[in-house]
Structure 1
């Protein structure tokens, strides 16, 4: 498991070490909101500059001199305010923060294990997976239902697994209801 310092090391600008991981989650959420707002603005400005839309740039608060400089084409007659690498780096930071937020969320989650007559259902927070293990090979209809719900057969573990997230939990809940109705 990572320490709080490892969790909060963010590419392109870290967040200070904190004592409680709830504080870490709050800091990550604030940093993520800022980066997403910056990304949205960068994309909007780039679109306006590429379309040479001076009125749109003025509405965003740019002065006439700055608008003229932004709309000045380079040697290849291109206009772009933010370079691709700035957009890419910003997006990579957002992805890293989202991953960190999921890891912090999984630290709060407890493992769930439901043992039924025909199957074992598990939610493993540390591995971020939901799994079904059946006592016998499921019939063709059930295997198709599992695939439609996003579960993938892991032959090495003899389980059907998918990522642990809210949509996975909802799909697993519907499958468990279906399986319980079949058993009774």
Structure 2
């Protein structure tokens, strides 16, 4: 489902000092809808909404709305006031699949008329289907702290083991005076030297 709300136009052209009776037509995929006529107003406010049933076909990146504003004439053809095309790519890239636009109205030679048109467009995808353009994935902020905590704990345990081994190696060093190996003290007597002096 595609929805469009034609809100307002501003600074529409006058003709021979006469205010326009503007209406706005909206064309999507060859289907045309139009607003009511507002009498004698160059800044009309419509606030009219329209819907298109997409028949289960998702909106694609090249979709657009063709907008045409005309001056309603009681006799003959309506007078052209300006037109614009709105690409719907921004809607597909929007998190809520909706967007507001204020576009310039162009004349038949693609020159800016000085008038603008404001509208809102929203898109409801078919059930079970996703938009053509997906928003970038959000980073999972919780995974990295968990991994860092695991690495930190492992690193601390490793350092503890290395410190213990270093202490054992320091205890089991050679005596620099005798060249003999000094082991750990046992039974409260280990490590005591036997007197070597001569008895009288």
For normalisation by structure 1, the TM-score amounts to 0.21
For normalisation by structure 2, the TM-score amounts to 0.20
Between Structure 1 and Structure 2, the one with more strand by share is 2
Q: Which has the larger radius of gyration?
A: 2
Between Structure 1 and Structure 2, the one with more helix by share is 1
Structure with higher RCO (Cα < 8 A, 6+ apart): 2
